[in-house]
Amino acid sequence: MPLTAEQAMLQVQERLRSLKSLIVEIDAERKRNEPNIVNTIRLAKMSSDEKSAAVNHKLKALYKTGIQDAIQEENLIRQALAKIQDIRNIRNERRIQARNAGNKETIRRGALMKMLQISAQTLPLFVSKPGEKIPPLCGSIPADNSYVAKPGDMVAALVKGLEDEENWILAEVVHYISSANKYEVDDIDEEQKDRHILSKRRIVPLPLMRANPETDGQALFPKGTTVMALYPQTTCFYKAVINQLPQTANEEYEVLFEDPTYADGYSPPLYVAQRYVIAIKQNKKVGASS
């Protein structure tokens, strides 16, 4: 049952209170762990001649304690991130309800570009635990064949233009028509305001999580891979080649867009967030940069 505005506000407030408590707990946990970290570093820096059996035994105990402390801190951080995601989901649900009620907000192009950038930067970061499998729609990992994008999800959609040319655009899922295996999507570009009904094969779900390069580099596209990437300051996807991978969770891909106006056929290096870099669809025409 859809949430009322009051219910949504109460739920957000409840999660904000929980989030505040978790942040306080995380800070207290870090302060509690500091003496152990300082002692571990001090003993680890001692030369081998200075380390007696007793010192080595103490250092081993400190490492064990440090591991347990890190696990506890990680659990608290994951709980806090889950609360943040809950708040995002509630706000998104209310936005979809408003849109369905005919109260779609008009966003200026400059504000839209900023919103898309923030959305990519704040996409949840997946950090795998030892031995954990990277889930679909994390970084470069594609969705399962049976996956159905939810209303409000961002996708790349292959649509026909005025002269029947086909282009990949950034769109938002309105509805999935299961009986026809088709999606109803809205062009994210406010200047177009177009709604399309497209077969599932013309839709590519965007990542729901960023991959952490430091722990899950296998969930990033290798250098030299041809992909579809959202051209900066536009809402269209074009063919590009991965030139450099992000090295940290906050960095973006460096890509070279196919562009015949340059002598080598590629644009100068441009940066695109993980959320807007996806595997190229096979046997489908990809739009050329306009």
- Sequence spans of domains, the chain: 5-105, 153-205
For residue 116, give Cα distances in angstroms to 152, 188, 191: 14, 10, 15
Residue pair 258/245 in contact by the 8 Å Cβ criterion: no
pLDDT at residue 51 greater than cutoff 50: yes
pLDDT at residue 156 greater than cutoff 90: yes
Residue 47 — pLDDT band, cuts 50, 70, 90?
A: confident
The whole-angstrom separation of Cα 258 and Cα 158 is 18
State pTM to two decimals. Answer: 0.78
Mean predicted confidence (pLDDT) in 166-178: 94
Which tens digits make up the pLDDT trace of 210-251?
Answer: 999 999 999 999 999 999 999 999 999 999 999 999 999 999
The class (CATH top level) of 153-205 is mainly beta
Mean pLDDT of the chain: 89
Cβ density class 252-267: b for 16+ within 10 Å, e for less: bbbbbbbbeeeeeebb
Which tens digits make up the pLDDT trace of 107-121?
Answer: 777 888 998 999 999
Which tens digits make up the pLDDT trace of 253-287?
Answer: 999 999 999 999 999 999 999 999 999 876 444 44
pLDDT at residue 192 greater than cutoff 80: no
